[in-house]
């Protein structure tokens, strides 16, 4: 087991190509990878740590975001939310830590969510795959979410590896819970 994956010593874990391809097919084409390295960028246009994607403008882009999973992840989720208000569609691959304040402040009721089945095998800096020690989710921020106010999302299915389930206010199915 690679202990780097379970610590904060490295944030350079690449998205598996199969998952990026599925997301690009469903939500893309992606025009910007907002948090990448030259070695793991998924789009021709990308921001590295040196470019400081948090301070850059993403408007007008369809953005793929697999942010660093350390303490700064809340800033990346807020940035994704805010950039969607400026016209960007932002698709985030993040840990499904639904108990965190950033999920409550920026995701629930404000984005579409796909909970991924199983654990993703991220690609390490040396190219070796390692399973994440946490469940993952794909969070999709769209400009229309801001125009419509609080979103009433629906159930989405990507394939047998990802499904999204939402509680929609007024849904008769909720009466049986």
Query: Per DSSP, what are the bridge partners of residue 123?
Result: 14, 129
> φ, ψ for residue 112 (rounded to 5)?
-85, 145
Q: Are 103 and 71 in contact (CB under 8 A)?
A: no
Rounded Cα–Cα distance for residues 177 and 175 (Å): 6
If phi > 0 it is left, if psi is from -120 to 50 it is alpha, else beta; for residue 43 that is: beta
Going from the C-alpha of 132 to that of each of 5, 29, 49, 102, the distances in angstroms are 7, 26, 22, 20
pLDDT reading at 42 higher than 50? yes
The whole-number pLDDT of residue 166 equals 43
Percent of the chain scoring above 90 in pLDDT = 53
- The H or E element spanning position 122 is strand 121-123
Q: Which two tokens stand for residue 131?
A: 């399973």
User: For the chain, percent helix, then strand, then coil, each to nearest 5?
Assistant: 25, 20, 50
Lowest mean pLDDT among 58-62, 124-128, 141-145: 124-128
pLDDT of residue 75 exceeding 80, the answer is: yes
Query: What residue ranges do the domains of the chain occupy?
Result: 3-176
Tokens of 119: 């654990």
Q: What is the pLDDT of residue 115?
A: 86
Cβ proximity of 139 and 84 under 8 Å: no
CB neighbour list of residue 82: distance below 8 Å, 6 or more residues apart: none
**Right CATH for 3-176 from 1.10.1040, 2.60.40, 3.40.50, 1.25.40:** 3.40.50
Q: How far apart are CA 108 and CA 140, in angstroms?
A: 11
Is residue 170 over pLDDT 70? Answer: no
pTM of the entire predicted model: 0.80
């Amino acid at each position: 087991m690679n202990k780097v994956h379970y610590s904060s010593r490295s944030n350079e874990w690449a998205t598996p190509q199969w998952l990026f391809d599925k997301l690009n097919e469903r939500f893309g084409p992606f025009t910007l990878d907002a948090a990448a390295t030259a070695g793991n960028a998924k789009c021709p246009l990308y921001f590295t740590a040196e470019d400081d994607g948090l301070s850059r403008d993403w408007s007008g882009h369809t953005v793929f975001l697999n942010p660093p999973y350390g303490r700064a992840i809340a800033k990346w989720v807020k940035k994704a939310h805010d950039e969607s208000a400026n016209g960007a569609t932002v698709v985030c691959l993040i840990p499904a830590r639904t108990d965190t304040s950033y999920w409550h402040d920026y995701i629930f009721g404000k984005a579409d969510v796909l909970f991924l089945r199983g654990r993703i095998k991220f690609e390490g800096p040396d190219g070796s795959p390692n399973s994440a020690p946490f469940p993952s989710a794909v969070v999709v921020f769209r400009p229309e979410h801001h125009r419509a106010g609080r979103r009433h999302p629906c159930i989405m299915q990507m394939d047998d590896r990802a499904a999204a389930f939402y509680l929609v206010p007024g849904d008769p199915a909720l009466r049986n819970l």
